[in-house]
Amino acid sequence: MAECTTLDSLLEMGFDRNRAERAVAHTGNQGIERAMDWLMEHENDPDIDEPYVPPAGNTLGSTEEQIQSPTETSEPIEGVEQEGDAKHSMTEEEKKEQVKRLEELMKARQEERRERERQEEIEREKQRRKQGQELLQVKQKLQEDEMKKLADQRRREKMEDRLAKQRVKDKIARDREERARKFGGGSSSTGLSSPPSEAPIQSPPENQGAPPAKKDYDDCRIQVRLLDGSTLSTVFKAQEPLAAVRVYVQMNGANGQDFNLITPYPRRVYTDLDMEKPLRELGLVPSAVLVVTKKEIN
């Protein structure tokens, strides 16, 4: 009778019979509050609305006292009968009051469960934010490391460029010293200079013999006319590449501009491939005049 009382109370509160029977069975008929707690905890179970089938040998309304000894079951049965009598003696007003109380209890339990779920959701959100912040910090650390690597690489490249330019400068200085020693202390000017004066034309001798053998020059005097009309003049080795002349112009008058080197007569524009060729091979020995022109951007 006690189990039926719990079941009836659940039905009066509006619960489905299948759900009410499952709640009473799974809570061992320990009262309406336990049954309501079970219903709220399992309301989303996939089989909650399936017809309830009691286990074999057990039917709804049976209690553990039925399998105990007669001496142990006498008092509970008497209590059950008293509870049944009390149930049948309840008035409609008492029933409504009981249902109202149970509904308020269920609402309170539902509110507690919603509050608990809300707190759990807050904790989960905190965890997500914490993980997001940690992931962001890891990404920022990786970006900072990558930026440091790029900065180090750029510094190395700049240092290598400076060292390369310094090696060219040192080579030019050594070449100047060597030429100065070779020509008896003559100085090769790096500043502005006037074009070399032409040698006076000599009349050929009356009795001209066999033509003299062509002299093999080891040095080459190069005069460069810059964009502003000024000139540079210096001496290079005949075997030096044209790139040495280009570097010399860059350091002494190019002002950071990109340029081409040409010869006016006959006109020839020297390409990047020509920069690797010796001055002798390009026909610039023993002397030549080069003109600096702005490099056209395609």
Omega prior to 70 cis, within 30 of 0:
no
User: pLDDT per residue over 54-107, tens digit each?
Assistant: 766 555 554 444 333 333 433 443 443 444 444 455 677 877 777 777 778 778
User: pLDDT per residue over 228-284, tens digit each?
Assistant: 889 999 999 999 999 999 999 988 877 778 899 999 988 999 999 999 999 999 999
What does pLDDT average to over the chain?
78
d(CA 265, CA 285): 15
Closest CA to 117 of 27, 22, 40: 40
Going along 12-59, which residue ranges are E strands? none
pTM (2 d.p.): 0.31
Q: Is the separation of the CB atoms in 40 and 10 below 8 Å?
A: no
